[in-house]
Amino acid sequence: MSKLLLILVTVFTLAACASARDLNRIGNYEVLSVRHSYTNSHIIKLLNGNYVMIDAGGYEDAAKLEREIIGAGIDPRNIQAIFLSHAHWDHAAGAKYFQDIYKTRVILGEADKLLLSQGKSDTLCPTNFFAKMRLESDQQHRFDPPLVNSMVFRATSLSDFIEGTEGVVVPVPSHTEGSLAVVIGNLAFVGDLFRGSILGSGAAIHFYICDVEKNREAIRSFLKNEAAQVEYFFPGHFGPVLKRKDVITYFFGDEL
């Protein structure tokens, strides 16, 4: 396949995947995953009937995300908090919209506090051709950050932030130093620790990773420790659901 044809196939594939809404029922949990501009926001129905959101996308897509949430029968006022997997614009900027309208709490990894306050990305290191094409626009993007209500310093029970909430929030420094993952039951929400593949249903390295080996070891540690019982992974891009065996196969072969 020529490079031009490969580019065209990639562009058309990405265009088809730019927006989507999926509702997954896994065990006792319901997860609404909404994708705008290639970034996933995950809204999880907890056992007590309330909700938390993982990432809120870009600010320019926040009103569309709100409509998708309401269209799925969820009252945004019942979203108890937005956990930001990291401080990049395409995951964090939309939180300000929900904070301004609904007073939704925003929770961030402590090591990303300065990055979020700057309203711009740190240095991005592309891992593939598509990322190189996007690098200039992604690197220059600016946004008004939300206010952070609580910060995560170490692996912490979600009930420390929202009373009666099951699960744990885990620092996974790799994509950014303050990146977080959230584990609820046998589900994990991993932000940009890794992504879903553009084609098919497997896992893949994220588009921007500056230290690939550090990223790989962060994934290994997470899988062997906090996510040892996790079977389904919800990434920040594509997917929206990856199976444990597919993540292990992509990064480590047959076993960790």
What pLDDT score was predicted for residue 38? 93
Run means of pLDDT, 10 residues per run, the chain, 256 residues: 49 58 95 97 94 98 98 97 98 98 98 98 95 94 97 97 93 97 98 94 96 97 98 97 97 88
The domain tally of the chain equals: 1
What pLDDT score was predicted for residue 12? 41
Dist. CA 45–CA 232, nearest whole Å: 16
Domain range for 97? 20-252
Dist. CA 39–CA 36, nearest whole Å: 6
What pLDDT score was predicted for residue 16? 44
Q: Is the Cα dihedral 110, 180, 227, 22 positive or negative?
A: positive
What pLDDT score was predicted for residue 2? 53
One-letter amino acid for residue 49 of the chain: G
| Burial (CB count within 10 angstroms: exposed 0-12, middle 13-18, buried 19+), residue 132 | exposed
What pLDDT score was predicted for residue 15? 45
What pLDDT score was predicted for residue 3? 56
Tokens representing 127? Answer: 């891992």
* Residue 9, in any domain of the structure: no
* Residue 160, in any domain of the structure: yes
Task: Decide: helix, strand or coil at residue 164.
Answer: coil
Dist. CA 39–CA 192, nearest whole Å: 10
What pLDDT score was predicted for residue 255? 78
* Residue 106, in any domain of the structure: yes
* Residue 239, in any domain of the structure: yes
What pLDDT score was predicted for residue 226? 97
CATH of the domain at 82: 3.60.15.10
